[in-house]
Structure 1
Amino acid sequence: MDLKRALRRRQVAAYAVAVALALAVALGRPSAAPVVERFIDPVLVVLLYATFLEVPFVRLRRAFTDGRFLATALAMNFLVVPAVVWALTRALPASPAILVGAFMVLLTPCIDYVITFTELAGGDAERITAITPALMLVQLALLPAYLWLFMGREVAAVIEAGPFVEAFLTVVALPLALAWLTEAWATRSASGASWQGAMGWLPVPAMGATLFVVVASQVPRVSESIGQIAAVVPVYVAFLVVMPLLARVAAGLVGLGVGASRALAFTSVTRNSLVVLPLALALPAGYELAPAVVVTQTLVELAGMVALTRIVPAWLLPDAPERVSRDSIRGGE
Structure 2
Amino acid sequence: MDTKDWLQRRQVLIYALAVVLAIGVGVSRPSSTTFIEQLIDPILAVLLYVTFLEIPFVRLRRAFTNGRFMAAALAMNFLVVPVVVWGLTRLLPPEPVILVGVFMVLLTPCIDYVITFAELAGGNSEQITATTPALMLVQLLLLPVYLWLFMGAEVAEVIEAGPFIEAFLVIIALPLTLAWLTEAWAERSPSGESWKATMGWLPVPMMGMTLFVVIASQLPRVQDSIGQIAIVVPVYIAFLVIMPVLGKVAAGVLQMDVGESRALVFTSVTRNSLVVLPLALALPADYELAPAVVVTQTLIELTGMVVLTRVVPAWLLPERPTPISLSNRSRGD
Q: TM-score scaled by structure 2?
A: 0.93
Letter in 1 for 2:169: L
Matched, 1:217 2:217: yes
Q: State the alpha-carbon separation in 2 of the partners of residues 51 and 283 from structure 1.
A: 33
Question: Which residues in structure 2 correspond to 1:1-333 (within 5 Å)?
Answer: 2-319=2-319, 322-326=320-324
Letter in 2 for 1:243: M
1:269 offset after TM fit, Å? 0.8
Q: State the alpha-carbon separation in 2 of the partners of residues 291 and 54 from structure 1.
A: 34
Contact 1:89 1:235 in 2 (8 A): yes
Contact 1:237 1:300 in 2 (8 A): yes
Q: State the alpha-carbon separation in 2 of the partners of residues 172 and 182 from structure 1.
A: 15
Contact 1:186 1:196 in 2 (8 A): yes
Q: State the alpha-carbon separation in 1 of the partners of residues 125 and 293 from structure 2.
A: 28
Contact 1:60 1:130 in 2 (8 A): yes
Q: State the alpha-carbon separation in 1 of the partners of residues 41 and 307 from structure 2.
A: 27
Q: State the alpha-carbon separation in 2 of the partners of residues 184 and 290 from structure 1.
A: 44
Kindly provide the CA deviation profile for residues 277-318 of structure 1, in whole angstroms up to 9, marking residues without a partner as x: 233233332222222111211221122223322322233222
Contact 1:222 1:292 in 2 (8 A): yes
1:35 offset after TM fit, Å? 1.6
Contact 1:261 1:324 in 2 (8 A): no
1:331 counterpart residue number? none
1:158 offset after TM fit, Å? 1.1
Contact 1:258 1:324 in 2 (8 A): no
Deviates further, 194-203 or 118-127: 118-127
Letter in 1 for 2:36: V
Kindly provide the CA deviation profile for residues 171-198 of structure 1, in whole angstroms up to 9, marking residues without a partner as x: 2111111111111221222211111111
Q: Runs ≥4 in structure 1, deviation > 4 angstroms? A: none
Kindly provide the CA deviation profile for residues 130-170 of structure 1, in whole angstroms up to 9, marking residues without a partner as x: 21222122212211111111111110111111221111111
Q: State the alpha-carbon separation in 1 of the partners of residues 315 and 201 from structure 2.
A: 30
1:323 offset after TM fit, Å? 4.7
Contact 1:171 1:275 in 2 (8 A): no
1:82 offset after TM fit, Å? 0.7
1:94 offset after TM fit, Å? 2.3
1:87 offset after TM fit, Å? 0.8
1:116 offset after TM fit, Å? 2.1
Kindly provide the CA deviation profile for residues 36-89 of structure 1, in whole angstroms up to 9, marking residues without a partner as x: 111111111111111111111111011121111110111001100011101101
1:270 offset after TM fit, Å? 1.1
Q: TM-score scaled by structure 1?
A: 0.93
RMSD of aligned Cα (Å): 1.8
Letter in 2 for 1:202: L
Deviates further, 295-304 or 76-85: 295-304
Q: State the alpha-carbon separation in 1 of the partners of residues 321 and 248 from structure 2.
A: 11
What residue ranges of structure 1 are gaps of 5+ in the alignment? 329-333
Deviates further, 219-228 or 97-106: 97-106
Q: State the alpha-carbon separation in 2 of the partners of residues 34 and 111 from structure 1.
A: 24
In the superposition, relative to structure 1, how do residues 233 and 175 fare at CA in structure 2: closer, same or farther (>3 Å)? Answer: same
In the superposition, relative to structure 1, how do residues 93 and 316 fare at CA in structure 2: closer, same or farther (>3 Å)? Answer: same
Contact 2:60 2:130 in 1 (8 A): yes
Q: State the alpha-carbon separation in 1 of the partners of residues 45 and 273 from structure 2.
A: 15
What residue ranges of structure 2 are gaps of 5+ in the alignment? 327-333
Q: State the alpha-carbon separation in 2 of the partners of residues 211 and 284 from structure 1.
A: 29
Identity %: 74
Q: State the alpha-carbon separation in 2 of the partners of residues 276 and 202 from structure 1.
A: 26
Q: State the alpha-carbon separation in 2 of the partners of residues 286 and 3 from structure 1.
A: 50
In the superposition, relative to structure 1, how do residues 324 and 257 fare at CA in structure 2: closer, same or farther (>3 Å)? Answer: farther
Deviates further, 17-26 or 296-305: 296-305
1:327 offset after TM fit, Å? 5.7
Q: State the alpha-carbon separation in 2 of the partners of residues 162 and 224 from structure 1.
A: 28
Contact 1:256 1:324 in 2 (8 A): no
Secondary structure of 1:108's aligned partner: coil
Secondary structure of 1:92's aligned partner: coil
Secondary structure of 2:90's aligned partner: helix
